[in-house]
Each structure stands twice: as C-alpha cells, then as structure tokens.
Structure 1
Amino acid sequence: MSCCSPDNSCSTSAASRDKKTTGVTTVYEVKGMTCGHCETAVAKEVTAVAGVSGVSVDVAAGLVTVTTGTEPDDAQIAAAVDEAGYELTGRAENLSAR
C-alpha cells in the first residue's frame, strides 16, 4: 500500500538518504513508489538491514541502489521494502555494478 493519495500527491517533503560508500552495489526494481515520503520510507527500512552501508532511492525510475560489504541477501532487502509498504520485483541486472 502506497503512502500517497490516488493522485500521487504527498504532503511530506522528500528526504534523500543517499550515502556514498564502497562495497558491492546492487540495484533493485521496486513498484509503488511515487513521492518523497516513499523514498524516505524505503531508504529507512533498507538502511536498517544488517550489512547495508548505503542506500539511494530513485522514485521516478522505481530503483533502489543498495551498497553492502558483501553480496546482499535479496530476501532481507525484499522484506525491508515490503515493511516500507512497497514491492521489490527483482534485481535490475543490467544496472547492477559489482
């Protein structure tokens, strides 16, 4: 369930949690994000996953870039995205950089 109204408006301002670090970078496709509140909610939950050292959310593209020290646990990332109220649909394999 998205945090936004049916017209995709949101009264919450965008808050980016971009954090540049080194490690394994994996890009995931996420459905349902439409605004800054969505960005904040996903970033907060994914950042809390053990081993995650950086998260960048691109709402317009529906992408979440996750940096970890080792190969990420996709199930844990998916659970975090689900906890935020969105759906991780898979890795954006052609965008992942390892």
Structure 2
Amino acid sequence: MSTIISVGGMTCGHCEQTIEETLRGVSGETDASADREAEQASGDGDADVTALMQAVEDAGYPAHA
C-alpha cells in the first residue's frame, strides 16, 4: 500500500534523500520517494501513517497527512 504525506522544509536533493532513507527505515516500509517541489513524500509498505509522519518529524521536517 502506498501512503502519501505532506512534508515541509525540503529545499534540495539531499533533503529528498534524507526523507526517503528515513521512510525506508520505518518497519514495514519497502520503498519511498520524496518530491520537494510537490512538498510530498510517499512510502510503500504497511507502516501506519502516524509512524511515517513521526519518523519524518524526528528527522527535522514538518509532516502531516
């Protein structure tokens, strides 16, 4: 299942990479992508959206569903 969340504060490719790695690190996630221009990130897997948002926030970026 793919889950899309809004992520603020991404300003460069490194930010996108950080978000992608963060989401892939959440238990149950198999893949992730981030798009700074759309201010969105998506995770593929069965992790809860709350866990995804918390991981992104722990990485220093504001997130909401």
The TM-score with structure 1 as length reference comes to 0.62
AA at the equivalent of 1:85: G
Aligned residues: 65
Q: Which runs of 5+ in 1 are unaligned?
A: 1-23, 91-98
Find the partner of 1:54 among 26, 31, 34.
31
Question: Hey, what does 1:40 align to over in structure 2?
Answer: 17
How many percent of aligned residue pairs carry the same amino acid?
32
Q: Radius of gyration: which is bigger?
A: 1
Question: What stretches of structure 1 move > 6 A for 4+ residues in a row?
Answer: none
CA contact (8 A) 1:27 1:65 kept: yes
The structure with the greater share of residues assigned to helix is 2
Shift in Å, 1:62 = 0.5
Q: Note the residue ranges of structure 2 that are not aligned, 5 or more in a row.
A: none
TM-score, normalisation: structure 2: 0.89
